[in-house]
Amino acid sequence: MAIQRPKGTQDLLPGVVEKWQDLEQHIRKICREYGYEEIRTPIFEATELFQRGVGETTDIVNKEMYSFLDKGDRSITLRPEGTASVCRAYVENKLYGGPQPVKLYYMGPMFRYERPQAGRFRQFHQFGVEVLGADKPIVDAEVITLVWDLYTRLGLKGLEVHVNSVGCPTCRAEHRTKLQKFLAPRREQLCKDCQDRFERNPMRILDCKNATCQEITQGAPTTLDTLCPECSEHFRELRELLTAAGVRYKVDPRLVRGLDYYRKTAFEVLVEDIGAQSAICGGGRYDGLVQEVGGPQTPGIGFAMGVERVLAALQASGQGSDRRPKEFVMFIALGEAAQKEAFSIVSALRSKGIPASIDLLGRSLKSQLKSADKAQARFAAILGEDELSRQVVILRDLALGEQIEVPLDEVKEDLIHKWEEEV
């Protein structure tokens, strides 16, 4: 039986991968404009990093991590998310010793063992930003505005930001007590996961998607009910800044996110028309995470967005590029002497950054013209024995259906001029 790709993974083939490239270009452009610099961390890390950073009460650590022992008997995990790795790099490379805040972004594959479904894979891809070393509400607002700006530029419709404050350790303790008191009489009716969370992290019960748990938690105390004055003021300023930036948002008291490290701000961006998985971005503030992974007390905030989900949203809304890469010129060379001459010209054009190609299979004129049309080339440059003897090239404009003869020693400069006019 032929070997197949692992379940929950995908092959990104030509015709599809160009959509990824377009999105990545938009991402890099907006990050430059906002002053964020790229960071690339290892795809695998010490398992302890995610146990300490993401939190042992999370589904990611409990159920979804790809962990294994390497040849040195060290426990290694394929990264399930990017924030913990960025914080580890911030500490290990002593970025806290330089100018603050440090504004970073990343793109790359993540890995979680979970049931594949629409928009959810075992190897998936995330774009995320992290700001380390600043704790003001304006930082939170900038992070949310960046992703709002990106989605708006991409043309996504039906966007809405959901925001909440999950408080700090001080006000979270009060919320924990009130929530446990509220849930205690019906604890046995909660799903098994939420029964486990009751002692370890009861706030996560508010985030449960189980219908029974959602019904039980109706009217439960929210984090907004117990915010301390500092957290309350932080959340008020954030909302005012989002309003000033024109970001459409909704306060969602049940939004707590699925990771243990969040403090104060938590947010998600939702979009219509991609099915059950309508959240295409999530993030929040994590002021204790850098310290948790061995660094100094450092405030931080960030988000991660699933690239697959954003592409699905773009497709559902009729946005995004459907283009495949277009050749500017395809040389059709017939005969060994003509092929050598054409290959020299193609090489010179490529050195100028002009998309140019030449047949590699020795096919007939008819087959090569079909190939040029299929590749959506703008021009076909035909050089056979007759043209070579007359020192000309037939230059056919495939968009207009017209053709002219160009002297062989002028065709390179002629194509360069045409390219400059087109771009």
Tell me the pLDDT tens digit for each residue of 273-316: 655 548 899 999 999 899 999 999 999 999 999 999 999 899 88
Q: Kindly give, in sequence order, each residue whose CB lies less than 8 Å from that of residue 359, ignoring residues fewer than 6 positions away.
A: 330, 331, 332, 333, 368, 371
Looking up tokens 């219908």 gives 211
pLDDT of 196 reads 85
71, two tokens: 């040849």
What pairs with residue 127 in β-bridges? 107, 305
pLDDT of 246 reads 94
pLDDT of 273 reads 62
* Residue 395 to residue 385: CA distance in whole angstroms: 15
pLDDT of 274 reads 58
DSSP single-letter state for residue 328: S
Q: Please state at what angle helix 137-154 crosses helix 307-316, rounded to 10 degrees.
A: 40
Q: What torsion do the CA atoms of 268, 254, 131, 232 make, to the nearest 10 degrees?
A: 130
What pairs with residue 417 in β-bridges? none
* Residue 299 to residue 101: CA distance in whole angstroms: 9
DSSP single-letter state for residue 162: E
Q: For 14-161, where are the alpha helices, taking DSSP H only? A: 17-34, 47-53, 59, 83-92, 137-154
Three-class SS of residue 191? coil
Q: Which amino acid is at 334?
A: L
pLDDT of 176 reads 87
Closest listed residue to residue 387, CA positions, set 378, 374, 379, 396: 396
Task: Give yes or no for a contact between 132 and 36, defined as CB atoms under 8 angstroms apart.
Answer: no
286, two tokens: 């994590």
pTM as predicted: 0.85
Strands 263-270, 279-285: pairing kind: antiparallel
Strands 160-165, 263-270: pairing kind: antiparallel
pLDDT of 119 reads 65
Q: What torsion do the CA atoms of 206, 208, 213, 217 make, to the nearest 10 degrees?
A: 10
Strands 75-78, 66-69: pairing kind: antiparallel
Three-class SS of residue 152? helix
pLDDT of 82 reads 95
* Residue 16 to residue 19: CA distance in whole angstroms: 6
Residue 413 to residues 115, 373, 403, 409, 418, Cα–Cα distance (Å): 56, 23, 17, 8, 9
pLDDT of 199 reads 84
pLDDT of 419 reads 94
Question: How many alpha carbons fall within 13 Å on the CB side of residue 117?
Answer: 7
Backbone angles phi, psi at 332, to 5 degrees: -110, 100
317, two tokens: 């809304």
CB atoms within 10 A of CB 140: 27
pLDDT of 258 reads 59
pLDDT of 56 reads 65
Strands 75-78, 356-358: pairing kind: unpaired
49, two tokens: 């990093």
pLDDT of 254 reads 87
Per-residue pLDDT of the chain (423 residues; tens, 9 = 90+): 799 999 999 999 998 999 999 999 999 999 999 999 999 999 999 999 998 877 765 667 777 899 999 999 999 999 999 999 999 999 999 999 999 999 999 999 999 998 777 667 999 999 999 999 999 999 999 999 999 999 999 999 889 999 999 999 888 889 889 989 999 998 899 998 898 888 888 888 887 888 899 899 998 998 999 999 999 999 999 999 999 999 999 999 988 875 667 889 999 999 876 555 488 999 999 998 999 999 999 999 999 999 999 998 998 887 765 555 578 999 999 999 999 999 999 999 999 999 999 999 989 999 999 999 988 899 999 999 999 999 999 999 998 999 999 999 999 999 999 999 887
Residue 362 to residues 105, 270, 336, 357, 370, Cα–Cα distance (Å): 46, 52, 9, 13, 14
DSSP single-letter state for residue 296: -
Burial of residue 104 (CB within 10 Å: 0-12, 13-18, 19+) is: buried
Sheet with 279-285, strands from edge to edge, namely: 37-38, 102-111, 123-132, 300-306, 279-285, 263-270, 160-165, 249-251
